[in-house]
């Protein structure tokens, strides 16, 4: 059998369409797989570079960051406590004024009682 440019091949159209669809699906699957692999490799590289950057930090830097976070939380607690104390100061000032008024009332009542005893 001689194969040349003029050799004809008889094939049903149904088979031809099936081959074309199969080739198209193969190409599509290959491009999707390649795209996914590229995406995964990129994310792995970014992740490893982030780890390298974090590992380059000196332990003293990490300790300082931890101390700063601890101190910031303590400052927040102190601020909350100071706000409570402000309210207590206002209440104490009001109570002191009330006590002075009560003392004045008691003294005036004592004076009235003393005066009642002298007039009898």
What is the pLDDT at residue 38?
95
Q: Are residues 48 and 65 in the same domain?
A: no
Residue 6 lies in a domain: no
What is the pLDDT at residue 2?
78
Q: Are residues 91 and 39 in the same domain?
A: no
Q: Are residues 44 and 63 in the same domain?
A: no
What is the pLDDT at residue 31?
96
What is the pLDDT at residue 72?
92
What is the pLDDT at residue 76?
92
Residue 103 lies in a domain: yes
**Domain containing 82: what range?**
58-120
Residue 72 lies in a domain: yes
Q: Are residues 42 and 69 in the same domain?
A: no
Which among 26, 7, 10 is positioned nearest to 18, based on CA atoms? 26
Q: Are residues 16 and 41 in the same domain?
A: yes
What is the pLDDT at residue 118?
67
What is the pLDDT at residue 55?
67
Residue segments in the chain with a per-residue pLDDT below the cut of 50: none
């Amino acid at each position: 059998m001689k194969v040349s440019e003029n050799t004809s091949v008889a094939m049903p159209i149904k088979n031809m369409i099936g081959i074309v669809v199969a080739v198209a699906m193969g190409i599509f699957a290959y491009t999707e797989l390649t795209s996914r692999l590229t995406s995964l490799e990129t994310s792995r590289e970014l992740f490893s570079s982030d780890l390298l950057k974090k590992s380059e930090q000196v332990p003293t830097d990490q300790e300082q960051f931890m101390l700063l976070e601890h101190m910031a939380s303590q400052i927040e607690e102190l601020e909350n406590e100071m706000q409570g104390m402000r309210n207590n100061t206002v209440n104490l000032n009001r109570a002191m004024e009330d006590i002075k008024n009560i003392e004045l009332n008691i003294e005036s009542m004592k004076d009235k009682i003393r005066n009642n005893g002298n007039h009898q």
